[in-house]
Amino acid sequence: MAHQATLGEIARWLQKGFRVPLGYFKLAEVGSWGALREDAASAWVGLMARLRELGGTIDGPYGDTKRPLMKTISTGASKTSFHICGRAVDLNQGQTRYYVAKEPRGGETWWRIYCKTSDQSGAQGQRFEGALVYSFVSKKESPLPAGFYLDLTAEIQREGLFERIHAQRGWEQHSRQSEWWHFQWVPGKQETFQDECELVGITEKQLRAAGYTDADLDRAPG
């Protein structure tokens, strides 16, 4: 039988409209290409539609969206990734309309994605004269091919809801660490990985069963 004080506390939570953190957010499908936390999914789907109107695309298939708990870690992956809590999307790395430019800043390498617009008459996008783009095959920069492009990175980040991340160190040797394709949901970041997981219904018991340690649970997510 529940203690009276506990029942009283629950009643106060309900009166104030509070919700239990565990499972606060559901997961929602992003087309047929994966799932994200429901608030991130709604914003991303809206962004997909807006970018189509501008002549760009962030449609799938995606490299990754919501990711399961990780018992083994591959090169470039993080055990406490925002993917696990449904807050991150990896764009389609095989999209031939994408051209990626290096942006060194503060000792880190960031990336800017130019997306060739669907209408090349000049009605969509703009020319980016003098822009250089990077090839992960030749490992060299070359001029952006002539045409009209959308600054996809600027458009994705325009409302402040999604953000890019910088490359991991060593990306020059391992392209999977470049992270040019990765964007993550900004609002309401939690201080610990465990807190982020609980918001989408992943319990401490599940985390520990997957091999996560105290240090993992207390780490900042990402």
pLDDT digits (tens, 9 = 90+) for 31-75: 999 999 999 999 999 999 999 999 999 999 999 999 999 766 676
Residue 132 Cα distances to 98, 114, 129, 146, 172, angstroms: 13, 10, 9, 11, 17
Distance CA 38, CA 26 (A): 6
Q: Give a yes or no: residue 146 inside a domain.
A: yes
Our measurement of the distance from residue 171's CA atom to the centroid of its chain's CA atoms, rounded to an integer in Å, reads 18
Q: What is the DSSP letter of 177?
A: G
- Name the pLDDT band for 21 (thresholds 50, 70, 90): confident
Q: Give a yes or no: residue 192 inside a domain.
A: yes
Our measurement of the distance from residue 150's CA atom to the centroid of its chain's CA atoms, rounded to an integer in Å, reads 20
Mean pLDDT of the chain: 92
What percent of the chain shows pLDDT beyond 90? Answer: 86
Higher pLDDT, 90 or 78: 90
Give the dihedral of Cα atoms 211, 181, 108, 86; nearest 10 deg: -40
Distance CA 13, CA 43 (A): 28
**Residue 21 CB contacts under 8 Å (≥ 6 apart), including other chains:** 195, 198, 199
**pLDDT at site 19:** 55
Q: Give a yes or no: residue 7 inside a domain.
A: no
Please check whether residue 76 is in contact with residue 174, taking contact to mean a CB–CB distance below 8 angstroms: yes
- Name the pLDDT band for 86 (thresholds 50, 70, 90): very high
What percent of the chain shows pLDDT beyond 70? Answer: 89
Residue 181: which H helix or E strand, with range? none
**pLDDT at site 15:** 72
Which range marks the domain in which residue 174 is found? 17-218
Fill in the amino acid letter for 46: G
Q: Give a yes or no: residue 3 inside a domain.
A: no
Our measurement of the distance from residue 60's CA atom to the centroid of its chain's CA atoms, rounded to an integer in Å, reads 13
**pLDDT at site 11:** 66
Identify the burial level of 104 via C-beta atoms within 10 angstroms of its C-beta, where 0-12 means exposed, 13-18 middle and 19 or more buried. Answer: exposed
How many structural domains comprise the chain?
A: 1
**pLDDT at site 22:** 86
**The pair of three-digit structure tokens given for residue 125, joined into one six-digit string:** 């996008």
Apex 47 CA angle, 19 and 78, nearest 5: 65
Tell me the three state secondary structure of residue 84: coil
Using the structure block, give the residue that is written with the tokens 């090839």.
Answer: 135
pTM of the complete model = 0.89
Q: Give a yes or no: residue 205 inside a domain.
A: yes
